[in-house]
Amino acid sequence: MKIILNKILLLIVAATFLASCDKEELTVLNPNAETTVSLSVSNVVLDKDNAGQDVLTVSWTDPDYGFDAAAGYKIVFTAGEKSVTVAAGTNLSKVFETVQLNKILLNLGLKGGTPAQVSVQIEAVLSVYHSLSSNSTSFMATAYEDKLDLSTIWGVVGSATVNGWNGPDMPFYTTSIADVFVAYVTLSNGHIKFRSNNSWALNYGDTGLDGKLDEGGTDIPVTAGTYKITFNLSALTYTIEAYTWGLVGDATTNGWDGPDMPMAYDSFSDTWKAIVTLKAGKVKFRFNNNWGLNYGDTGADGKLDNNGADIAVTAGNYLVVFDLKNLVYTITPINIWGLVGDAAPNGWDGPNVRFTLDFSKDDVWVINRVTLTTGKIKFRTNDSWDLNYGDNGLDGTLEVGGADIPVAAGTYKIVLDFSNSSAPKYTLTAL
């Protein structure tokens, strides 16, 4: 009886398997499946004063695969030889607001105020084995420049600068006064001069050390510190004054007594910025680690008041922006990217070697100089493994939770580029 029952069970299993095979054979992919993309407008002129307004809707049809399928969609914007891909999930449309679309256009290489044709195509991804592309449609787009260009041909060079006498020089920036330039620099004990285009063809020193510049003149001695250097090209005069802005408070590392958490000048927005880890508590902004000039926020409205009220914050990582020109500020939560691994200075347990934002670009992070040993590295946020990237193909493209990246011993500049969120990239440049 047991033998007969076992044979019956085998027949049932076999019949079920064959029925399953028959069912799978009936699931045939429609080779004529297609999707068609359309745009809500044919011409878009962006204005930074309209931040937050919806300006473009991209829609597409659902492909008929011949069976119920859950495809994922990507929107590919192209201008010339550059393209930007935006993930759209499983929806059949995506709305873009002003700032979001403007960043895409700038990443495509469009210049502010200049109309250009941008094509749009949909990629429908059914599996790793099958995807299809839509027709291509286009619109005329005019972006706006969201960053200033305060750069000049002039720079500070010398043994007191981070790059020494060979440069590249620490930059001077334009001011509201013609031929008056300013540099914000941290110097060591040593000497400096001012020169044009990182070249000795035209350089200025101060032969009499009287504040007047002489072409090819004597090196200018300085002591270690952080300074604002003002250079008047018309009058051939200069001044060097102690100058720092920083965050102070019980939410900062050093408390109310300081020294303050330093802020860096961002010439692309004419603001001061810092990426910081804060505790729950309060902060203020102050000048030169001194209470003689400080700013708070009496109305808790994002506006700065001279000697105003302390600013309450919760614990976390933040991008702090201090706009001295308009007397406003923002404190925005941010993931801080870092370098970790057995090749990194602090090993796999960290803490991470922190990247800093490249303020000239959109979501690009940089470590300008780090010494690695032979081993492996990865990139992660906030000293945690919750979000980390490696490189499965060792092709320069990052994947979430990807493979460790092997490196040889040496000193490197490392760049993480998240401007294309669907295909983030990294570069390691030996120094």
- What six digits make up the tokens of 312? 């309450």
How far apart CA 65 and CA 27 sit, in angstroms, is: 10
Rounded to 5°, angle at Cα 29 from 26 and 31: 135
Count of alpha carbons within 13 angstroms of residue 121, beta-carbon side? 15
For residue 192, give the amino acid letter.
I
Cβ neighbours of residue 316 under 8 Å, at least 6 residues apart?
Answer: 277, 278, 333
Are 116 and 131 contacting, i.e. CB atoms less than 8 angstroms apart?
no
The residue with tokens 């004419």 is 270
**Mean of all residue pLDDT scores within the chain:** 90
How far apart CA 327 and CA 330 sit, in angstroms, is: 11
Q: Is 103 helix (H, G, I), strand (E, B) or coil?
A: helix
pLDDT value at residue 5: 39
CATH of domain 337-430: 2.60.40
In the chain, where are the structural domains located? 37-142, 151-242, 269-332, 337-430
Cβ neighbours of residue 255 under 8 Å, at least 6 residues apart?
Answer: 248, 249
Q: Kindly give the residue spans of alpha helices, DSSP state H, lying in 264-370.
A: none
pLDDT (tens digit, 9 = 90+) per residue, 360-394?
887 899 999 999 999 999 999 999 999 999 999 99
Cβ neighbours of residue 256 under 8 Å, at least 6 residues apart?
Answer: 248, 249, 250
pLDDT (tens digit, 9 = 90+) per residue, 123-177?
988 776 678 899 999 999 999 988 888 999 999 999 999 999 999 999 999 999 9
Q: pLDDT tens digits, the chain, 431 residues: what are they?
A: 433 433 333 343 334 433 444 444 445 677 788 899 999 999 999 998 888 899 999 999 988 877 776 678 899 999 998 888 888 888 899 999 998 999 899 889 898 999 999 999 999 887 766 788 999 999 999 999 888 889 999 999 999 999 999 999 999 999 999 999 999 999 999 999 999 999 999 999 999 999 999 999 999 999 999 999 999 999 999 999 999 999 999 999 999 999 999 999 999 999 999 999 999 999 999 999 999 999 999 999 999 999 999 999 999 999 999 999 999 999 999 999 999 999 999 999 999 999 999 988 878 999 999 999 999 999 999 999 999 999 999 999 999 999 999 999 999 999 999 987 778 999 999 99
Count of alpha carbons within 13 angstroms of residue 256, beta-carbon side? 6
- Domain 151-242, second-level architecture: Sandwich (2.60)
CATH of domain 37-142: 2.60.40.10
How far apart CA 415 and CA 402 sit, in angstroms, is: 17
